[in-house]
Amino acid sequence: MNKLSWMLATTALALGGALAPAARAADKPSVDITPYLGYRMGGQFDVDNPQAGSSSSADLQDSSSWGVDFGIYRDATSFYEFLYSQQSTNLDTDDPSLKRVDVKTEYYQLGGTLLYPQDTWFVPYFSLTAGATRFDAQKGGSETKFSGSLGGGLRIPFNENFSMTLGLRGYLTAVSSDSQFFCAGGGGSATCLLKASGSTLFQGEALIGLSASF
């Protein structure tokens, strides 16, 4: 089992242990599926320019995103979830050699969602996940890092099985300050396009989706 698989398995067990088994509600659904469209912002890297003796920054350009959230109900108001989210964008930078670099950012997350039914026409929810972030550049290969997310929003029911979901989610990816990204070549001859600008990389996402519970 590689390091990433071990982290995902450990996260799933930890989340499962944190949510103690509850008595099953007779009318609870079994599964929850939410495909969604979103708009993702944030994500900054540093760009070294050895020839000029200086460095600049490169941001992941704000753009549309999409994803799907699959849940297995624990009880009537909570479910375990697997979240996949993807953004394909470019780098926003003053460096002309990087302006046309395409970058795909993917999140693979495991966690859980709590629903808070009230005497209103909407249902607030809260979501917490952990997993991995995969960065894939058109020029320079891919990188995978440990990450987590925190989300919340509202569900607006149409009927017992379908509802519209409106939400916000923040993704935090753990990186070391000297991490290099999108490197081509190997050993001392490797050429890297970017490096981390801090110990974490943050992205935020606004989303709208259609949730189906059965």
Of 32, 59, 58, residue with least CA distance to 47: 58
Q: Which residues of 112-125 are buried (b: 16+ CB within 10 A; e: fewer)?
A: bbebeeeeeebbeb
Q: Euclidean distance between the first and final Cα of the chain, in Å?
A: 34
In a domain, 4, yes or no: no
pLDDT at residue 191, rounded to an integer:
73
pLDDT at residue 201, rounded to an integer:
93
In a domain, 5, yes or no: no
150 token code pair: 């925190």
- Residue for token pair 């039914």: 117
Q: Mean pLDDT by 10-residue block, N- to C-terminus, for the chain (214 residues)?
A: 50 46 59 98 79 71 97 96 97 80 95 94 97 88 93 96 98 85 64 81 97 96
In a domain, 11, yes or no: no
In a domain, 159, yes or no: yes
In a domain, 8, yes or no: no
- Rounded CA-CA distance 83/34 in Å is 9
In a domain, 21, yes or no: no
What's 116's domain CATH number?
2.40.160.20
Q: Is the dihedral of CA 125, 130, 132, 133 positive or negative?
A: positive
User: Considering the entire predicted model, what is its pTM?
Assistant: 0.82
Task: Report phi then psi at 12, rounded to 5.
Answer: -60, -40
In a domain, 148, yes or no: yes
Residue span of the structural domain in which 89 resides: 37-213
In a domain, 104, yes or no: yes
- For the CA atoms of 128, 66, 104, 203, the dihedral, rounded to the nearest 10 degrees, stands at -40
Please tell me the total count of domains within the chain: 1
